[in-house]
Amino acid sequence: MTTEAPAGTVAGDQITREELQLATRNHGMPLEAMRYDVTPIGLHYLLVHYDIPFVDGEAWHLDVDGDVERPLRLTIDDLRSRETETRPVTMECAGNGRAQLSPRALSQPWLVEAIGTGEWTGTPLWPVLEDAGLSPDVVDIVFVGLDSGVEGAAAQHYQRSLTPQEAREEGALLVYELNGVPLPPQHGYPLRLLVPGWYGMTSVKWLSRITASNTLFAGYQQERAYRLRHDADEVGEPLTRMRVRSLMVPPGVPDFFTRERFVRPGPVTLTGRAWSGAGTISRVQVSADGGSTWTDADVDDAAVPYAWQEWRLRWDAQVGTHDLISRATDSTGATQPLAAEWNLGGYAVNSVQHVTVTVTDAPPGI
Ligand SMILES: Nc1nc2c(c(=O)[nH]1)N[C@H]1C(S)=C(S)[C@@H](COP(=O)(O)O)O[C@H]1N2
Ligand SMILES: [Mo]
């Protein structure tokens, strides 16, 4: 008996041409780049729904309008002359892990690599909204990107909303620099929203307009996409904060094509990063035997909340094949599940990563 995959999903491991087309545009972060506290530009993952807009930064401005007392039009210089904040923030795509599910949603086929930590510079969002003066009847604030396309059969600009409470309390920034330089085109030049601790879809790139509204925003990226549902008819739970997750830098060297790992026998330092939308990580456990036994890794203290923490554990690699796993627990006590929990859109998959390594003296020279 065969069970049919729901509409918009596909079962099995075969990648479709459209998924490949998305995957070549939207790259992940090579996991070895977890060695850097701040991900170098170009190694941070990338997710662009439509096309990267070509923006003339001199002519660009940000409009703050809608249900406000004083509509604002701000240039980049206006934003740069406001209060400045620089902070490392780990960002993850809500679809990270999607391609581990079967059936999987036909979309960007991430395995585990849709992550990165930028050092973002910008100005706090809330004081800008205070200057504009939100009317008391505002229930949603809509952030509109310059990029547009067609999704769910509807033409749209990429746009997402936050409630006034979220805009005030989540530490959101309007950012114009990444790692000390103006935002590169692919990461939102000249301005993006950044909501620390939330999945990436909230952090609208190429921001051109912020509109305060006295009705709930019902745009595609809010009402249809980025919701946890098991059935297309469900309203679903909106995605907000990142679930707890850890990843390991795959040790040793890879086979070029299969990416299978080879490690020499002897002591090896296993290392990686862990993060959570709850703020900080309290524990990382590592198993070298597929989850039968676990050892606590050393975890660096959190420098600031919402930036990943490095962990490490010395492992005595014995000849043979081993299934390495890391498992993080955050400050709320939430722990990564051992198996992925299926949902229709393939969102918020935070199950543990398995790294299979062959410990051998051959091939020599490694
Ligand atoms: N305007 C706009 N903003 C956007 C997107 C987009 O396609 N257009 N993609 C979102 C998604 S789904 C993610 S995961 C993050 C990715 O940010 P990055 O490409 O800078 O890593 O940007 C978000 N902001
Ligand atoms: Mo995303």
132 residue type, one letter: A
Instruction: Read off the pLDDT band of 1 (50, 70, 90).
Output: very low
Q: For residue 193, which atom of ligand 1 is closest to its CA?
A: 24
Positive or negative, the CA dihedral 47, 28, 42, 175 is: positive
Give tens-digit pLDDT for 226-268.
Answer: 999 999 999 999 999 999 999 999 999 999 999 999 999 999 9
Mutate to test the pocket of ligand 1, among 27, 48, 107 (most ligand atoms within 8 A of CB): 48
Show the ligand 1 pocket: residues with CB < 6 angstroms. 44-49, 91, 93, 145, 147, 158, 187, 200-201, 203-206
| Cα-based distances in Å from 103 to 48, 59, 329, 345 | 23, 46, 28, 10
Give tens-digit pLDDT for 133-178.
Answer: 999 999 999 999 999 999 999 999 999 999 999 999 999 999 999 9
pLDDT score, position 13: 87
Give the closest residue to 164 by CA, choosing from 126, 132, 122, 127.
Answer: 126
Indicate which residue's Cα is closest to atom 19 of ligand 1: 46
| Residue 247: strand pairing partners | 273
Question: Which residue's entry shows tokens 């309390």?
Answer: 169
CA distance 111 to 105: 13
Q: For residue 146, which atom of ligand 1 is closest to its CA?
A: 1
Residues 6+ apart with CB under 8 A from 227: 235, 236, 237, 238, 239, 345, 347
Q: For residue 159, which atom of ligand 1 is closest to its CA?
A: 1
Question: Mean pLDDT, to the nearest integer, of 323-350?
Answer: 98
pLDDT score, position 225: 95
